[in-house]
Structure 1
Amino acid sequence: MGNVMSLKKATLLIIVILLIDQISKFYIKTQFALHHRIEVFDWFQILFVENDGMAWGTKLSDFITGISDRTAKLALTIFRIVAVVGIAYWLVTSVKKKGSRILIVAIALIFAGALGNIIDSVFYGLIFNDSHSQVATFLPEAGYDTLFHGKVVDMLHFPIWQGVLPNWMPFVGGDYFTFFEPVFNVADMAISSGIGLLIVFNKKAFHQEEEELEAPVFVENE
Protein backbone atom coordinates (compact mmCIF):
# COMPACT_ATOMS: atom_id res chain seq x y z
CA MET A 1 0.00 0.00 0.00
CA GLY A 2 1.05 3.60 -0.58
CA ASN A 3 1.76 6.00 2.22
CA VAL A 4 -1.26 8.32 1.93
CA MET A 5 -4.90 8.20 0.92
CA SER A 6 -7.09 11.14 -0.07
CA LEU A 7 -10.37 12.05 1.61
CA LYS A 8 -12.08 11.57 -1.77
CA LYS A 9 -10.95 7.94 -1.99
CA ALA A 10 -11.87 7.32 1.65
CA THR A 11 -15.33 8.78 1.00
CA LEU A 12 -15.74 6.53 -2.05
CA LEU A 13 -14.87 3.48 0.08
CA ILE A 14 -17.43 4.55 2.68
CA ILE A 15 -20.15 5.02 0.04
CA VAL A 16 -19.48 1.59 -1.51
CA ILE A 17 -19.69 -0.16 1.87
CA LEU A 18 -22.86 1.75 2.81
CA LEU A 19 -24.51 0.81 -0.48
CA ILE A 20 -23.66 -2.89 -0.12
CA ASP A 21 -24.80 -2.85 3.51
CA GLN A 22 -28.10 -1.06 2.92
CA ILE A 23 -28.99 -2.91 -0.29
CA SER A 24 -28.45 -6.26 1.44
CA LYS A 25 -30.58 -5.14 4.41
CA PHE A 26 -33.37 -3.79 2.19
CA TYR A 27 -33.40 -7.07 0.26
CA ILE A 28 -33.57 -9.20 3.41
CA LYS A 29 -36.20 -7.01 5.03
CA THR A 30 -38.47 -7.06 1.94
CA GLN A 31 -37.94 -10.72 0.99
CA PHE A 32 -37.65 -12.62 4.30
CA ALA A 33 -39.92 -13.05 7.30
CA LEU A 34 -38.14 -12.88 10.65
CA HIS A 35 -36.03 -16.01 11.39
CA HIS A 36 -36.40 -17.32 7.83
CA ARG A 37 -33.18 -18.96 6.67
CA ILE A 38 -31.61 -20.25 3.48
CA GLU A 39 -28.73 -22.74 3.67
CA VAL A 40 -26.13 -21.74 1.07
CA PHE A 41 -23.53 -24.23 2.33
CA ASP A 42 -23.29 -26.44 5.41
CA TRP A 43 -21.15 -23.73 7.01
CA PHE A 44 -22.94 -20.63 5.68
CA GLN A 45 -26.58 -19.57 5.97
CA ILE A 46 -28.64 -16.47 5.22
CA LEU A 47 -30.63 -16.06 8.44
CA PHE A 48 -32.79 -12.99 9.05
CA VAL A 49 -32.69 -11.71 12.62
CA GLU A 50 -33.05 -8.24 14.12
CA ASN A 51 -30.78 -6.82 16.78
CA ASP A 52 -32.43 -4.45 19.24
CA GLY A 53 -29.33 -3.74 21.28
CA MET A 54 -25.56 -3.76 21.23
CA ALA A 55 -23.18 -6.41 19.93
CA TRP A 56 -24.33 -10.02 20.31
CA GLY A 57 -27.86 -8.79 21.09
CA THR A 58 -26.87 -7.32 24.46
CA LYS A 59 -29.05 -4.48 25.77
CA LEU A 60 -27.95 -1.41 27.72
CA SER A 61 -30.75 -2.13 30.20
CA ASP A 62 -28.99 -5.42 31.04
CA PHE A 63 -26.24 -3.38 32.73
CA ILE A 64 -28.16 -0.37 34.09
CA THR A 65 -30.97 -1.08 36.53
CA GLY A 66 -34.07 1.08 36.58
CA ILE A 67 -33.90 1.98 32.89
CA SER A 68 -36.51 0.77 30.41
CA ASP A 69 -35.58 -1.02 27.19
CA ARG A 70 -36.93 1.88 25.10
CA THR A 71 -34.98 4.50 27.01
CA ALA A 72 -31.86 2.34 26.80
CA LYS A 73 -32.39 1.91 23.05
CA LEU A 74 -32.71 5.68 22.55
CA ALA A 75 -29.61 6.35 24.68
CA LEU A 76 -27.62 3.76 22.72
CA THR A 77 -28.65 5.24 19.36
CA ILE A 78 -27.71 8.76 20.45
CA PHE A 79 -24.37 7.47 21.76
CA ARG A 80 -23.73 5.80 18.39
CA ILE A 81 -24.44 9.05 16.56
CA VAL A 82 -22.02 10.97 18.81
CA ALA A 83 -19.41 8.24 18.30
CA VAL A 84 -19.79 8.41 14.51
CA VAL A 85 -19.27 12.18 14.58
CA GLY A 86 -16.08 11.56 16.54
CA ILE A 87 -14.91 8.91 14.05
CA ALA A 88 -15.63 11.30 11.15
CA TYR A 89 -13.49 13.96 12.83
CA TRP A 90 -10.73 11.39 13.36
CA LEU A 91 -10.89 10.45 9.66
CA VAL A 92 -10.71 14.04 8.38
CA THR A 93 -7.91 14.92 10.81
CA SER A 94 -5.90 11.83 9.85
CA VAL A 95 -6.21 12.66 6.15
CA LYS A 96 -5.11 16.28 6.73
CA LYS A 97 -2.11 15.03 8.71
CA LYS A 98 -1.30 12.64 5.85
CA GLY A 99 -1.78 9.56 7.99
CA SER A 100 -0.85 6.16 6.62
CA ARG A 101 -3.09 4.49 4.06
CA ILE A 102 -3.77 1.60 6.46
CA LEU A 103 -4.96 4.02 9.13
CA ILE A 104 -7.27 5.90 6.73
CA VAL A 105 -8.74 2.66 5.33
CA ALA A 106 -9.29 1.30 8.85
CA ILE A 107 -11.05 4.46 10.05
CA ALA A 108 -13.16 4.59 6.87
CA LEU A 109 -14.24 0.96 7.41
CA ILE A 110 -15.18 1.61 11.02
CA PHE A 111 -17.06 4.80 10.10
CA ALA A 112 -18.99 3.14 7.26
CA GLY A 113 -19.97 0.19 9.43
CA ALA A 114 -21.07 2.35 12.35
CA LEU A 115 -23.07 4.64 10.07
CA GLY A 116 -24.70 1.68 8.33
CA ASN A 117 -26.07 0.32 11.62
CA ILE A 118 -27.12 3.80 12.75
CA ILE A 119 -29.30 4.13 9.64
CA ASP A 120 -31.17 0.99 10.77
CA SER A 121 -31.53 2.23 14.35
CA VAL A 122 -32.76 5.69 13.38
CA PHE A 123 -34.97 5.10 10.33
CA TYR A 124 -35.99 1.44 9.92
CA GLY A 125 -38.78 1.66 12.49
CA LEU A 126 -40.42 4.32 10.32
CA ILE A 127 -39.81 3.02 6.80
CA PHE A 128 -40.70 -0.66 7.40
CA ASN A 129 -43.50 -2.50 9.15
CA ASP A 130 -42.64 -5.52 11.29
CA SER A 131 -41.38 -8.85 9.94
CA HIS A 132 -43.10 -11.23 12.36
CA SER A 133 -44.74 -14.02 10.31
CA GLN A 134 -44.69 -11.78 7.23
CA VAL A 135 -42.43 -10.04 4.75
CA ALA A 136 -42.10 -6.37 5.64
CA THR A 137 -43.36 -3.56 3.38
CA PHE A 138 -41.16 -0.60 2.48
CA LEU A 139 -42.80 2.77 3.33
CA PRO A 140 -46.00 1.36 4.85
CA GLU A 141 -48.79 3.56 6.23
CA ALA A 142 -47.38 2.93 9.70
CA GLY A 143 -43.94 1.62 10.60
CA TYR A 144 -43.19 -0.87 13.35
CA ASP A 145 -41.78 1.81 15.67
CA THR A 146 -40.80 5.47 16.01
CA LEU A 147 -37.72 7.45 15.00
CA PHE A 148 -34.53 6.30 16.80
CA HIS A 149 -36.13 2.97 17.79
CA GLY A 150 -35.41 0.87 14.69
CA LYS A 151 -33.79 -2.54 14.85
CA VAL A 152 -30.53 -3.49 13.13
CA VAL A 153 -30.97 -6.10 10.38
CA ASP A 154 -28.55 -9.06 10.50
CA MET A 155 -28.38 -11.92 8.03
CA LEU A 156 -24.92 -13.54 7.75
CA HIS A 157 -24.56 -16.75 9.74
CA PHE A 158 -21.55 -19.07 9.72
CA PRO A 159 -22.32 -22.23 11.77
CA ILE A 160 -18.95 -23.73 10.89
CA TRP A 161 -19.29 -26.49 13.49
CA GLN A 162 -22.29 -27.78 15.42
CA GLY A 163 -22.40 -30.66 17.85
CA VAL A 164 -22.40 -31.89 21.43
CA LEU A 165 -19.34 -30.95 23.46
CA PRO A 166 -17.39 -33.82 25.12
CA ASN A 167 -18.48 -34.67 28.65
CA TRP A 168 -14.93 -34.20 29.98
CA MET A 169 -15.08 -30.45 29.32
CA PRO A 170 -15.80 -28.51 32.55
CA PHE A 171 -19.09 -26.56 32.85
CA VAL A 172 -20.14 -27.03 29.19
CA GLY A 173 -19.58 -30.78 28.71
CA GLY A 174 -22.60 -32.46 27.11
CA ASP A 175 -24.08 -29.15 25.89
CA TYR A 176 -24.99 -28.57 22.25
CA PHE A 177 -22.67 -25.92 20.82
CA THR A 178 -22.50 -23.94 17.57
CA PHE A 179 -19.36 -22.26 16.29
CA PHE A 180 -19.83 -19.53 15.02
CA GLU A 181 -23.20 -18.62 16.64
CA PRO A 182 -23.60 -14.81 16.12
CA VAL A 183 -25.49 -13.46 13.10
CA PHE A 184 -24.11 -10.24 11.65
CA ASN A 185 -24.23 -7.91 8.62
CA VAL A 186 -21.93 -6.12 6.17
CA ALA A 187 -21.64 -3.11 8.51
CA ASP A 188 -20.44 -5.39 11.33
CA MET A 189 -17.88 -6.92 8.98
CA ALA A 190 -16.59 -3.45 8.06
CA ILE A 191 -16.21 -2.46 11.72
CA SER A 192 -14.45 -5.73 12.59
CA SER A 193 -12.14 -5.43 9.57
CA GLY A 194 -11.22 -1.85 10.47
CA ILE A 195 -10.44 -2.76 14.07
CA GLY A 196 -8.54 -5.83 12.87
CA LEU A 197 -6.35 -3.68 10.60
CA LEU A 198 -5.52 -1.35 13.48
CA ILE A 199 -4.58 -4.29 15.71
CA VAL A 200 -2.60 -6.36 13.18
CA PHE A 201 -0.89 -3.43 11.44
CA ASN A 202 -0.67 -1.16 14.49
CA LYS A 203 2.92 -0.04 13.89
CA LYS A 204 2.34 0.69 10.20
CA ALA A 205 -0.98 2.42 10.85
CA PHE A 206 0.46 4.82 13.42
CA HIS A 207 4.01 4.95 12.04
CA GLN A 208 3.80 8.60 10.99
CA GLU A 209 2.38 9.73 14.33
CA GLU A 210 5.22 7.94 16.14
CA GLU A 211 7.80 9.64 13.91
CA GLU A 212 6.32 13.05 14.68
CA LEU A 213 6.50 12.35 18.42
CA GLU A 214 10.10 11.16 18.16
CA ALA A 215 11.29 13.97 15.86
CA PRO A 216 13.59 16.47 17.64
CA VAL A 217 12.26 19.99 18.11
CA PHE A 218 14.68 22.80 17.42
CA VAL A 219 14.09 26.13 19.13
CA GLU A 220 16.00 29.20 18.05
CA ASN A 221 17.74 31.09 20.79
CA GLU A 222 16.51 34.62 21.17
Structure 2
Amino acid sequence: MNVAMNPAPAAARRSPIHDALEARGAEWRDVNGTTFAVRLRDEPAGDDIPAAALCDLSGLNQLGVKGPDAANWLSTAGVDVPADLYESRPLPSGGRVVRFGAHEFFLEDGIAGSKASELSEQLGFGAEQVYRVEHQDATFLLTGPRSLDVMAQTCGIDFREANGGRAIFTRVAGVSCALLPETIADQQAFRLWLDPSYAPYLWEELVVIVESLGGHVVGAGRLFPDLPA
Protein backbone atom coordinates (compact mmCIF):
# COMPACT_ATOMS: atom_id res chain seq x y z
CA MET A 1 0.00 0.00 0.00
CA ASN A 2 1.42 3.33 -1.09
CA VAL A 3 0.97 5.75 1.82
CA ALA A 4 2.21 9.35 1.91
CA MET A 5 1.83 11.76 4.82
CA ASN A 6 0.74 15.43 4.93
CA PRO A 7 0.02 17.63 3.13
CA ALA A 8 -2.79 16.37 0.93
CA PRO A 9 -1.46 16.24 -2.64
CA ALA A 10 -3.08 18.53 -5.21
CA ALA A 11 -3.64 15.64 -7.61
CA ALA A 12 -5.78 13.71 -5.14
CA ARG A 13 -9.53 14.15 -5.04
CA ARG A 14 -10.49 16.85 -2.53
CA SER A 15 -13.39 16.21 -0.18
CA PRO A 16 -16.23 18.75 -0.44
CA ILE A 17 -16.03 19.09 3.36
CA HIS A 18 -12.24 19.44 3.41
CA ASP A 19 -12.42 22.80 5.22
CA ALA A 20 -14.73 21.42 7.93
CA LEU A 21 -12.32 18.56 8.57
CA GLU A 22 -9.32 20.91 8.55
CA ALA A 23 -11.04 22.93 11.27
CA ARG A 24 -11.13 19.74 13.37
CA GLY A 25 -7.38 19.24 13.00
CA ALA A 26 -7.54 16.48 10.38
CA GLU A 27 -4.46 14.37 9.70
CA TRP A 28 -4.52 13.67 5.96
CA ARG A 29 -3.02 10.66 4.22
CA ASP A 30 -2.88 9.75 0.56
CA VAL A 31 -3.44 6.03 0.03
CA ASN A 32 -3.07 4.81 -3.54
CA GLY A 33 -3.87 8.29 -4.84
CA THR A 34 -6.93 8.76 -2.65
CA THR A 35 -6.94 11.24 0.24
CA PHE A 36 -8.61 10.65 3.60
CA ALA A 37 -8.79 12.37 6.97
CA VAL A 38 -7.57 9.43 9.04
CA ARG A 39 -7.61 11.09 12.45
CA LEU A 40 -9.13 14.24 13.94
CA ARG A 41 -7.73 16.36 16.76
CA ASP A 42 -10.82 16.07 19.00
CA GLU A 43 -11.47 12.40 18.27
CA PRO A 44 -11.85 10.26 21.42
CA ALA A 45 -8.86 8.14 22.41
CA GLY A 46 -8.92 4.40 21.84
CA ASP A 47 -10.34 2.22 19.08
CA ASP A 48 -13.96 1.85 20.19
CA ILE A 49 -16.72 3.08 17.89
CA PRO A 50 -18.65 5.91 19.63
CA ALA A 51 -22.39 5.82 20.23
CA ALA A 52 -22.71 7.39 16.80
CA ALA A 53 -19.74 7.89 14.48
CA LEU A 54 -19.76 10.10 11.40
CA CYS A 55 -16.94 9.68 8.89
CA ASP A 56 -16.16 11.31 5.54
CA LEU A 57 -15.15 8.87 2.78
CA SER A 58 -15.52 11.24 -0.15
CA GLY A 59 -12.05 10.33 -1.43
CA LEU A 60 -13.12 6.83 -2.50
CA ASN A 61 -12.76 6.13 -6.22
CA GLN A 62 -16.07 5.82 -8.02
CA LEU A 63 -17.17 4.57 -11.43
CA GLY A 64 -20.51 4.40 -13.20
CA VAL A 65 -21.09 2.17 -16.23
CA LYS A 66 -24.16 1.60 -18.36
CA GLY A 67 -25.11 -0.03 -21.61
CA PRO A 68 -26.49 -3.30 -22.98
CA ASP A 69 -23.26 -5.19 -22.30
CA ALA A 70 -22.39 -3.55 -18.95
CA ALA A 71 -23.39 -6.53 -16.77
CA ASN A 72 -21.45 -9.00 -18.91
CA TRP A 73 -18.38 -6.70 -19.01
CA LEU A 74 -18.36 -6.40 -15.22
CA SER A 75 -18.86 -10.12 -14.73
CA THR A 76 -15.99 -10.94 -17.10
CA ALA A 77 -13.81 -8.57 -15.04
CA GLY A 78 -14.52 -10.56 -11.88
CA VAL A 79 -17.31 -8.43 -10.42
CA ASP A 80 -20.19 -10.15 -8.61
CA VAL A 81 -22.96 -8.40 -10.52
CA PRO A 82 -26.15 -7.61 -8.55
CA ALA A 83 -29.17 -9.26 -10.14
CA ASP A 84 -31.93 -7.01 -8.79
CA LEU A 85 -32.52 -3.28 -9.01
CA TYR A 86 -30.79 -1.38 -6.14
CA GLU A 87 -29.14 -4.57 -4.89
CA SER A 88 -25.49 -4.21 -3.85
CA ARG A 89 -22.68 -6.70 -3.83
CA PRO A 90 -19.13 -6.49 -2.44
CA LEU A 91 -16.24 -5.74 -4.77
CA PRO A 92 -12.98 -7.70 -4.57
CA SER A 93 -10.68 -6.10 -1.96
CA GLY A 94 -13.53 -4.06 -0.50
CA GLY A 95 -16.01 -1.60 -1.93
CA ARG A 96 -19.49 -2.05 -3.36
CA VAL A 97 -21.25 -2.34 -6.70
CA VAL A 98 -24.91 -1.28 -6.87
CA ARG A 99 -27.37 -1.87 -9.69
CA PHE A 100 -29.00 1.50 -10.43
CA GLY A 101 -30.93 0.38 -13.52
CA ALA A 102 -31.51 -2.49 -15.91
CA HIS A 103 -28.18 -1.73 -17.57
CA GLU A 104 -26.56 0.74 -15.15
CA PHE A 105 -24.16 0.12 -12.27
CA PHE A 106 -22.34 2.24 -9.71
CA LEU A 107 -19.03 1.07 -8.23
CA GLU A 108 -17.11 2.51 -5.31
CA ASP A 109 -13.76 1.22 -4.09
CA GLY A 110 -13.13 0.33 -0.47
CA ILE A 111 -10.40 1.93 1.61
CA ALA A 112 -7.75 -0.52 0.41
CA GLY A 113 -9.45 -1.59 -2.82
CA SER A 114 -8.76 -0.56 -6.40
CA LYS A 115 -11.27 -2.48 -8.52
CA ALA A 116 -13.30 0.57 -9.58
CA SER A 117 -10.19 2.52 -10.54
CA GLU A 118 -8.78 -0.48 -12.45
CA LEU A 119 -12.01 -0.88 -14.40
CA SER A 120 -12.09 2.85 -15.09
CA GLU A 121 -8.72 2.54 -16.83
CA GLN A 122 -9.91 -0.47 -18.85
CA LEU A 123 -13.19 1.08 -19.98
CA GLY A 124 -13.14 1.86 -23.69
CA PHE A 125 -10.57 -0.79 -24.63
CA GLY A 126 -12.66 -3.38 -26.44
CA ALA A 127 -15.71 -2.70 -24.24
CA GLU A 128 -18.44 -2.26 -26.84
CA GLN A 129 -21.88 -1.08 -25.68
CA VAL A 130 -20.46 -0.16 -22.27
CA TYR A 131 -20.35 3.54 -21.44
CA ARG A 132 -18.96 5.61 -18.60
CA VAL A 133 -21.28 7.50 -16.23
CA GLU A 134 -19.38 10.19 -14.34
CA HIS A 135 -19.70 10.15 -10.54
CA GLN A 136 -18.17 12.66 -8.12
CA ASP A 137 -20.52 11.94 -5.23
CA ALA A 138 -19.71 12.82 -1.65
CA THR A 139 -19.66 9.72 0.57
CA PHE A 140 -20.50 9.83 4.28
CA LEU A 141 -20.55 6.84 6.61
CA LEU A 142 -22.66 6.83 9.76
CA THR A 143 -22.33 3.96 12.23
CA GLY A 144 -22.54 3.08 15.91
CA PRO A 145 -25.25 1.89 18.31
CA ARG A 146 -27.21 5.15 17.98
CA SER A 147 -26.91 5.53 14.21
CA LEU A 148 -30.55 4.43 13.88
CA ASP A 149 -31.52 7.32 16.16
CA VAL A 150 -29.68 9.75 13.89
CA MET A 151 -31.56 8.43 10.87
CA ALA A 152 -34.86 8.58 12.75
CA GLN A 153 -34.32 12.34 13.22
CA THR A 154 -33.31 13.04 9.63
CA CYS A 155 -35.18 10.60 7.37
CA GLY A 156 -38.77 9.39 7.05
CA ILE A 157 -37.85 5.73 6.48
CA ASP A 158 -37.97 3.27 9.36
CA PHE A 159 -34.63 1.54 8.90
CA ARG A 160 -35.48 -1.11 11.47
CA GLU A 161 -37.56 -2.62 8.65
CA ALA A 162 -35.18 -1.80 5.78
CA ASN A 163 -33.56 -4.54 3.75
CA GLY A 164 -29.80 -4.35 4.33
CA GLY A 165 -27.63 -4.41 1.25
CA ARG A 166 -30.14 -2.59 -0.96
CA ALA A 167 -29.72 1.06 -1.88
CA ILE A 168 -32.58 3.43 -1.14
CA PHE A 169 -33.18 6.81 -2.76
CA THR A 170 -34.51 9.19 -0.12
CA ARG A 171 -33.99 12.54 1.59
CA VAL A 172 -31.81 13.02 4.66
CA ALA A 173 -32.28 16.36 6.41
CA GLY A 174 -33.95 17.54 3.19
CA VAL A 175 -31.07 16.49 0.92
CA SER A 176 -31.58 13.87 -1.82
CA CYS A 177 -29.30 10.89 -1.19
CA ALA A 178 -28.71 7.33 -2.24
CA LEU A 179 -28.40 5.45 1.03
CA LEU A 180 -27.08 1.96 1.66
CA PRO A 181 -27.69 0.21 5.00
CA GLU A 182 -24.76 -2.06 5.82
CA THR A 183 -22.66 -3.43 8.68
CA ILE A 184 -19.24 -2.11 9.76
CA ALA A 185 -17.34 -3.94 12.53
CA ASP A 186 -20.58 -5.67 13.63
CA GLN A 187 -22.33 -2.29 13.93
CA GLN A 188 -25.31 -0.98 11.97
CA ALA A 189 -24.05 1.51 9.40
CA PHE A 190 -25.43 3.77 6.69
CA ARG A 191 -23.49 4.87 3.63
CA LEU A 192 -24.78 8.09 2.07
CA TRP A 193 -24.02 9.25 -1.47
CA LEU A 194 -25.01 12.77 -2.45
CA ASP A 195 -24.29 15.71 -4.71
CA PRO A 196 -21.07 17.30 -3.40
CA SER A 197 -22.59 20.80 -3.58
CA TYR A 198 -24.96 19.82 -0.74
CA ALA A 199 -22.30 18.00 1.27
CA PRO A 200 -21.23 20.89 3.58
CA TYR A 201 -24.85 21.57 4.60
CA LEU A 202 -25.75 17.92 5.24
CA TRP A 203 -22.48 17.28 7.05
CA GLU A 204 -23.13 20.07 9.54
CA GLU A 205 -26.72 18.91 10.10
CA LEU A 206 -25.52 15.38 10.83
CA VAL A 207 -22.69 16.59 13.08
CA VAL A 208 -25.14 18.48 15.31
CA ILE A 209 -27.37 15.42 15.74
CA VAL A 210 -24.53 12.93 16.15
CA GLU A 211 -22.90 15.04 18.87
CA SER A 212 -26.24 15.63 20.63
CA LEU A 213 -26.53 11.83 20.98
CA GLY A 214 -23.07 11.49 22.51
CA GLY A 215 -21.38 10.58 19.24
CA HIS A 216 -18.35 11.98 17.43
CA VAL A 217 -16.95 12.84 14.04
CA VAL A 218 -14.16 10.33 13.41
CA GLY A 219 -11.38 9.80 10.90
CA ALA A 220 -11.36 6.88 8.50
CA GLY A 221 -8.59 5.19 10.49
CA ARG A 222 -11.01 4.62 13.39
CA LEU A 223 -13.38 2.50 11.29
CA PHE A 224 -11.00 0.82 8.85
CA PRO A 225 -7.88 -0.92 10.19
CA ASP A 226 -6.71 -1.38 6.57
CA LEU A 227 -5.97 2.34 6.56
CA PRO A 228 -3.12 3.07 9.02
CA ALA A 229 -4.20 5.71 11.53
- How would you bin the TM-score normalised by the shorter chain? under 0.3
TM-score if structure 1 supplies the norm length?
0.22
Normalized per residue, which structure has more helix? Answer: 1
Q: Which has the larger radius of gyration?
A: 1
TM-score if structure 2 supplies the norm length?
0.22
Normalized per residue, which structure has more strand? Answer: 2
